[in-house]
């Protein structure tokens, strides 16, 4: 609903949109996201990871936030919002995962600014799609952990990779490929065997996507020779092992249909 009024020249107010751009492929954005981008007056995008092909043909002004700090981003957002512009803050994948949107939303809360969040396809799921693997396999694991190796951003000790590895679930490890040796050391210390399957996908869903498949024993050397250093997802766990032939009961003839 527009609160604008032509007589008083008061601009109409549009909620700021935090939008998930998806993992890279410009077709992997939601229909709602595509519409909001097309209608936006001002788009502030995380240039290091968002595929700029998404911005081709848009009418709004586009700003790369790569060189901007939080204050500069918020200043730009507030200015646009108060001018009545449709402002989109475009984040890679899904904004709820390592999107750093919390501090932006809290700042907007303090300013009394209205906003909404529109989800996107996380790179974790784009990577699973590339690998053609289901991350939850009956009787193997029914749990997916989205996590990262501690880096400049610390990770609480109770959820270190070593601790999480003890669960033997499927793990999607973000932001960590440059520390692969440490990832492998921590996972093995935590109880994953050296034979545990692991895959690394660089730039999943982009044209230049690269895939490495190996085990915890081989993957460090594979990463070393591939020179993959960033924008890569590590997925590890027994669910990647195609040898398991256990099928889900969901489509078993004896399973009640209402759960399908």
Q: 225-254: which residues touch ligand SAH (CB under 6 A)?
A: 231-233
CA distance 46 to 19: 11
Choice between 85 and 233, CB closer to ligand SAH = 233
* Rounded Cα gap, residues 169 and 211, in angstroms: 21
Angle at 98 between CA 240 and CA 57, to 5 degrees: 100
Q: What is the β-pairing status of strands 144-148 and 115-118?
A: unpaired
Residue nearest to ligand SAH (CB): 93
Residues 22-41 that bind ligand SAH (CB under 6 A): 23-24
Cβ-based nearer residue to ligand SAH, 71 or 208: 208
Burial 53-80 (b: 16+ CB within 10 A, else e): ebbeebebebbebeebeeeebbebbbeb
Q: How far is the CB of 211 from ligand SAH (least distance, A)?
A: 10
Q: Which is nearer to ligand SAH, 73 or 233 (CB)?
A: 233
Pick out residues in 195-224 that bind ligand SAH (CB under 6 A).
Answer: 201, 203-206
Listed in sequence order, the residues at least 6 apart from 170 whose beta carbon sits closer than 8 Å to its beta carbon are 135, 136, 141, 143, 144, 145, 235, 236, 237, 238, 239, 240
Task: Check binding of 65 to ligand SAH (CB under 6 A).
Answer: no
243: Cα within 13 Å, side-chain hemisphere: 6
Identify which of residues 37 and 233 has a Cβ nearer to ligand SAH in the complex: 233
As measured in angstroms, the least distance from the Cβ of 129 to ligand SAH is 11
Stretch that binds ligand SAH, among 2-10, 79-87, 109-117, 119-127 (CB under 6 A): 119-127
The binder of ligand SAH chosen from 45, 81, 115, 174 (CB under 6 A):
174
Question: Is 141 a residue that touches ligand SAH (CB under 6 A)?
Answer: no
- Contact between 53 and 23 under an 8 Å Cβ cutoff? The reply is no
Among 28, 36, 104, 127, binds ligand SAH (CB under 6 A): 127
| Of 85 and 172, CB closest to ligand SAH | 172
Cβ pair 104, 16 in contact under 8 A: no
Question: Residues, the chain, total?
Answer: 260
**Does 97 contact ligand SAH by CB under 6 A?**
yes
Residues that bind ligand SAH (CB under 6 A): 23-24, 49, 91-94, 97-99, 122-123, 126-127, 174-175, 201, 203-206, 231-233
């Amino acid at each position: 609903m527009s609160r604008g009024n032509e007589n008083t020249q008061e601009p109409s107010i549009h909620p700021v949109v935090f939008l998930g751009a998806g993992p890279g492929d410009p077709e992997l954005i939601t229909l709602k996201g595509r519409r909001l981008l097309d209608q936006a007056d001002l788009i502030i995008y995380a240039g290091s990871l968002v595929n700029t092909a998404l911005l081709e043909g848009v009418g709004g002004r586009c700003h790369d936030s790569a060189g901007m700090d939080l204050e500069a981003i918020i200043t730009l957002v507030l200015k646009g919002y108060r001018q009545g512009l449709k402002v989109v803050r475009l984040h890679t994948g899904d904004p709820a995962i390592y999107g750093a949107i919390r501090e932006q939303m809290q700042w907007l809360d303090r300013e009394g600014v209205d906003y909404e969040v529109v989800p996107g396809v996380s790179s974790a799921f784009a990577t699973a799609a590339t690998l053609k693997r289901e991350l939850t396999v009956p009787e193997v694991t029914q749990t997916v952990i989205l996590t990262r190796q501690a880096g400049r951003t610390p990770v609480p000790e109770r959820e270190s990779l070593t601790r999480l590895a003890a669960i033997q679930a499927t793990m999607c490890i973000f932001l960590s490929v440059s520390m692969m040796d440490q990832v492998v050391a921590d996972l093995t210390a935590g109880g994953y065997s050296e034979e545990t399957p692991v895959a690394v996908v660089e730039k999943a869903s982009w044209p230049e996507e690269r895939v490495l498949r190996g085990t915890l024993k081989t993957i460090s050397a594979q990463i070393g020779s591939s020179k993959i250093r960033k924008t890569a997802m590590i997925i590890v766990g027994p669910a990647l092992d195609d040898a398991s032939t256990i099928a889900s009961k969901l489509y078993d003839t004896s399973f009640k249909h209402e759960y399908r």
